[in-house]
């Protein structure tokens, strides 16, 4: 059971990381290669779909990491759990104001201000990618060092 929970922590964290990095390196740059209006228009449904998946993965990974720490006593599991969990409050505090502006129906989708918001969003989202990558590395080292 203990190993299965550790596997859940690693799997869900690395899935989150892969999705986050994909968004930063592939999806968002492709959007930004289009007109600002199109980029802002397709950002919204992408954001809404990714939110459900990423929140679920982050919560599962954090819970499995905490459980792994409690059952093994290895602090690295707690550190990884705290790192992957930190993407949630970071999103709520740092990214959500930008998200709300981008989702505002009165936003001029073709404006330079919108393009700046999309660029800011990408920079903020990159923090989530780095946090989740750090958590993934810690979890992988923890499971491989047993």
Q: In a 10 Å sphere around its CB, with 0-12 CB exposed, 13-18 middle and 19+ buried, how is residue 10 labelled?
A: buried
Q: Is the pLDDT of residue 29 over 90?
A: yes
Q: Per residue in 42-93, pLDDT tens?
A: 999 999 999 999 999 999 999 999 999 999 999 999 999 999 999 999 999 9
Q: How far apart are CA 111 and CA 91, in angstroms?
A: 24
pTM of the model: 0.95
Q: Is the pLDDT of residue 146 over 90?
A: no
Q: Per residue in 79-130, pLDDT tens?
A: 999 999 999 999 999 999 999 999 999 999 999 999 999 999 999 999 999 9
Q: How far apart are CA 66 and CA 88, in angstroms?
A: 16
Average pLDDT over residues 18-40: 97
Q: In a 10 Å sphere around its CB, with 0-12 CB exposed, 13-18 middle and 19+ buried, how is residue 57 labelled?
A: buried
Q: How far apart are CA 124 and CA 20, in angstroms?
A: 11
């Amino acid at each position: 059971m203990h190993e299965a929970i550790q596997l859940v922590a690693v799997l869900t964290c690395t899935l989150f990381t892969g999705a986050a990095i994909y968004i930063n390196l592939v999806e968002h740059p492709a959007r930004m290669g289009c007109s600002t209006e199109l980029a802002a228009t397709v950002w919204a449904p992408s954001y809404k779909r990714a939110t459900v998946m990423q929140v679920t993965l982050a919560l599962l990974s954090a819970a499995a990491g905490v459980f792994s720490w409690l059952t093994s006593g290895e602090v690295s599991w707690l550190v990884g759990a705290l790192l992957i969990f930190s993407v949630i409050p970071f999103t709520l505090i740092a990214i959500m104001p930008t998200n709300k502006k981008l989702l505002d129906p009165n936003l001029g989708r073709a404006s330079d201000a919108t393009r700046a918001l999309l660029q800011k969003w990408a920079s903020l989202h990159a923090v989530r990618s780095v946090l989740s990558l750090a958590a993934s590395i810690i979890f992988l080292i923890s499971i491989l060092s047993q």
